[in-house]
Amino acid sequence: GDPGARVAHGPGDLSDPREPAALHSRAAEALGGRLDILVANHALSGSDGDLDTVDAAMLDAHWAVDTRSVLLLAQAHARHRAALEPGTPGGRVLMMTSGQDIAGGMPGEIAYALQKGALASITRSLATTLAAHAVTVNTVNPGPVDTDYLTGEDYDAVAARFPSGRWGMPDDPARLLAWLATDEAEWVTGQVIDSEGGFRR
């Protein structure tokens, strides 16, 4: 990365339907008025269940954060890019999914799996829509990434399901996302890319 790059941060409650557009606007302003790359790498964790225990409140909470806010961020990005000079290059929307469509899925996390599946499903439609603004849209499934949410025997059991014997680290999907944001990736759009280190389900 560029050690001299401009960095800004700020709070945002993405369960509030007004916040995605406001957050995008604040980010664009903080970075000089033009925003090229949107990475929607947020999600609601927990508050979930299997088919027997999931309820309407869980479904609504995951919808609001995991799907609705991502689509509203993409909408804000599309409007921002449409206001730029036609053909301005470099526009990117990058979303994250979770392997919910692979093997046996995620039967213990019905709400989360449903909403992440929606992002995978909408990827191509968004790519078609945003192509007019020179914006590519891709979604990455990073597989299990070590963010300290498991320990002990559970952690070791997951590690054993990677051919390399180790978990994915945050830098693993980050490198793919960084490449998808480059000019070299301008011909890649509408894809859901599995980047799981060969994880065996």
- All domains of the chain in start order, with CATH: 19-194 (3.40.50.720)
C-beta separation of 69 from 19 below 8 A = yes
In this prediction, residue 1 carries a pLDDT of 63
Q: How many C-beta atoms lie closer than 10 Å to residue 174's C-beta?
A: 16
Catalytic residue among 69, 98, 112, 196: 112
Q: Are strands 91-96 and 37-40 parallel, antiparallel or unpaired?
A: parallel
Radius of gyration of the chain (CA): 18
Distance CA 23, CA 172 (A): 27
Distance CA 106, CA 99 (A): 8
Question: What pTM was estimated for this model as a whole?
Answer: 0.92
In this prediction, residue 175 carries a pLDDT of 95
In this prediction, residue 159 carries a pLDDT of 92
Question: Tens place of pLDDT for every residue, the chain, 201 residues?
Answer: 678 888 888 889 999 999 999 999 999 999 999 999 999 999 998 899 999 999 999 999 999 999 999 999 999 999 999 999 987 888 999 999 998 888 888 899 999 999 999 999 999 999 999 999 999 999 999 988 889 888 899 899 989 989 999 888 999 999 999 999 999 999 999 999 999 888 888
For residue 37, CA distances in Å to 31, 74, 94, 113, 143 come to: 11, 10, 8, 25, 22
Q: One-letter amino acid identity for 93?
A: V
In this prediction, residue 161 carries a pLDDT of 87
Is 112 assigned a catalytic role? Answer: yes
Q: Which contacts qualify for 17-23: CB closer than 8 Å, 24 or more apart?
A: 17/64, 17/68, 17/69, 17/72, 19/69, 20/69, 20/70, 20/72, 20/73, 20/75, 20/76, 21/72, 21/73, 21/75, 21/76, 23/73
Q: Which pLDDT tens digit goes with each residue over 22-58?
A: 999 999 999 999 999 999 999 998 899 999 999 999 9
In this prediction, residue 120 carries a pLDDT of 97
Task: Choose among 161, 164, 53, 158: nearest CA to 110.
Answer: 53
In this prediction, residue 10 carries a pLDDT of 83
142: which 2 tokens?
């990073």
For residue 86, CA distances in Å to 34, 94, 125, 132, 142 come to: 14, 21, 21, 9, 33
